[in-house]
Chains A and B, each alone.
Chain A
Amino acid sequence: MSYKEIIARYAEVPGGIIEAFHAVEKELSFLPEEAIAEAARVFKMPAAEAFGVASFYSMFSTKARGKNIIRLCESAPCHVAGAAEVVAAIEKELGIRMGESTKDGLFALEFTECVGQCQATPVITINSKPYLDVTPAIVPNILAEYK
């Protein structure tokens, strides 16, 4: 579905621009300029303001990024449990650094705040699905699900 069609579905929802942005991200993994401009038209607000919304929320990206978004918790409990080793393992497995995307467009790598699964640290999420008690050893298996 094109971003125009996605945004149009939320046109009548009050304050629907945020839901529309989530829906566009689900499809494209980020918010292209054209989609932000289109949302501004549909929700009758200046593009400068629509961009303000898009840039305010950390879940939205205004820059192109990989399709599957891997988020690593950088809060204290995960840190203590060895998140740094998990970061290193994923970076090595994908050949990219935090904040980057793989060349094939399959993965994006980001930090996140606590996702509320501190009973089983370290935690990562891929497309919002949590993976618990992650160790460097099981990283390749987790990523294989998405390749």
Chain B
Amino acid sequence: MNNVTIDGIKTSVPEGSTILKAAESIGVKIPTLCNHPDQAVKGNCRVCVCEVEGSRLLSAACVMPVWEGMVVKTRTPKVIEARKTILELILSNHPQDCLNCIRNQNCELQTLAEEYFIRDNPFSQKTRGLAKDYSTPAIFRDPDKCINCGRCIEACSVIQNVHALGKVGRGNKVIVAPMLNGSLADSPCVMCGQCIHACPVGAIGEVEEIDKLLAAIADPDKIVVTQIAPAVRVAIGEEVGMETGTMPMDVFVSGLRQLGFDHVLHTNFTADLTILEEGNELLKRLKEGGTLPMTTSCSPGWINFIETYYPDLLDNVSTCKSPQQMFGALAKTYWADKMNIDPAKIYSVSIMPCTAKKFEASRPEMVDSGFRDVDLVLTTREIGRLFRMSGIDFDKLAGADFDSWMGAYTGAAVIFGASGGVMEAALRTVYEVVTGQTLENVNFEVTRGIEGIKEAEVDLNGTVVKVAIANGLANATKLMDEVRAGTSPYHFIEIMACPGGCIGGGGQPITKTNAKRVERINQIYVEDEACEIRKSHENPEVKTLYEEFLHEPLGHQSHHLLHTHYTAKNKKVL
């Protein structure tokens, strides 16, 4: 331990601690910009500089380790002047259009500019004039706003192992750019959107499509139907000033009706359906010697990743469409028929924690209903903006129920939102199908949590099934390298592209730390516990769907509407 004094406060911290960590431990706040609590230290923005007694130069708190007897001052006039100058220099290269920015009021640079009362910047304003990149349907980049912190690069390369982004050039000309200084669409970007959470400013964001929804709602010839993904409810409250997980589902539904949606349904319904299709697919592969291990297919970021980096292993992916796309295909067939609505009039909107879902919905093959199955995908953040714009007071809003036929769900569907949830939901069903016995304790705790790779074994009537769960694509890489090498011991692998699963998806409220992801995960299981039915095969509306329409899992109708095949992306430079 080292004894240090920070702003006159004496404390003792482990050797090797940085000034920043030591200050945090005693409640002294030092401003940061390039620093990210879950990433490696970068030390490139210098806004965290402090005075260290005996040193002529200021020290960057995020990188400077403490020593025995160190005396640090974090608020001297010299420090404040240096920080202000650093901020002014960054701002002199940063477009001054906060009012129009997607991160207005949620921007680390804007917050610091306010905290340090930057008024008249003595440096002349000179932006780089770099072009915006709208090459993908999911994510845009506005490189002029980039402050070169490098956090998006680390999210993309270290956490996701995608390597779409890199630094280009040198010195004051350096920029962050997609691979080979090209467009995002030409890079291996999987559109997971983790770079959006990493970005301290508005240099990366989701492609906003709120206006399309407003136009559809205003169109009297369109019947606007929405589905809500399992991970959205726990986080949507954060967008309207509520604590994580505290937005009641019925109030959320009511809020969506206020926005003008004609029918509010739930992706959870098709999450339950996915379990029946995917569970039976796994059993079929086990019985008939199909390709194993089978991996899940719910996460479109993961699908983009395997199409890009492991196209030789596409046979391992479940043929099930994602719950979003199953919902889309059924809404304009089964549901339209049941509701006696002309499917041509249905405008199908999904509310997703995900940016890659925007791309998934736009895949040319996703038209099995005879129409584009899902017309529009809005992220949790976009719905948050709509709620704020509409001025809905959620404290006073009375709750409302989901609409019929595709709104019922079980706890097994709820947990799709967290890493390990699909696996746990599948095990709840597969266990009962195989053993014919009732599963008394439905909680498979071992599948839960934010840990990167989890594994478990389940005894199904004497057959031991080995499963693994990965969240974050760098972890997926480890499992898929084993599969490629033929050494994978598993039968079934759940992969979610985003750390923590969908609750940490690229479309969720800006998520600054993994601690927030853990909070959302905990809330997912609270919601599961509160569900009366917690096994997918007991969902009454799913049972009705099979009786009236699909007839059996993996049957003819299912094959046509609910299953698909993915193809290699063949990115030219990989």
Contact = CB atoms under 8 A, between A and B. Distances in A.
A49 B163 contact: yes
Interface stretch (A51-59, A66-74, A106-114, A131-139): A51-59
A51 B168 contact: yes
A55 B182 CA distance: 13
A33 B179 CA distance: 10
Interface of A: 33-34, 36-37, 40, 46-49, 51-52, 55-58, 62
A57 B168 CA distance: 10
Contact of B180 (A47, A56, A57, A58): A47
A48 B180 contact: yes
Nearest to A46: B163
Contacts of B178: 48
A55 B178 CA distance: 13
Contact of B574 (A36, A47, A52): A47
A36 B157 CA distance: 18
B179 A48 contact: yes
B164 A48 contact: yes
B103 interface: no
Interface residues of B, number: 17
B157 A37 contact: no
Nearest to A36: B180
B179 A47 contact: yes
Given A48-B163, A52-B167, A62-B181, 8 more contacts: A34-B573, A37-B573, A40-B573, A46-B157, A46-B163, A55-B169, A55-B181, A56-B169
A33 B573 contact: yes
A49 B170 CA distance: 13
A16 B163 CA distance: 21
Contacts of A48: 157, 163-166, 178-180, 187
A21 to B, nearest CB: 14
A36 B187 CA distance: 14
A-B pairs with lowest CB-CB distance, top 6 = A48-B166, A46-B163, A37-B573, A48-B179, A55-B168, A52-B166
Contacts of A46: 157, 163, 166, 179
A46 B163 CA distance: 6
A133 B181 CA distance: 39
Contacts of A49: 163, 166
13 contacts: A33-B573, A37-B573, A40-B573, A46-B179, A47-B573, A47-B574, A48-B157, A48-B179, A48-B180, A48-B187, A51-B180, A52-B168, A57-B170
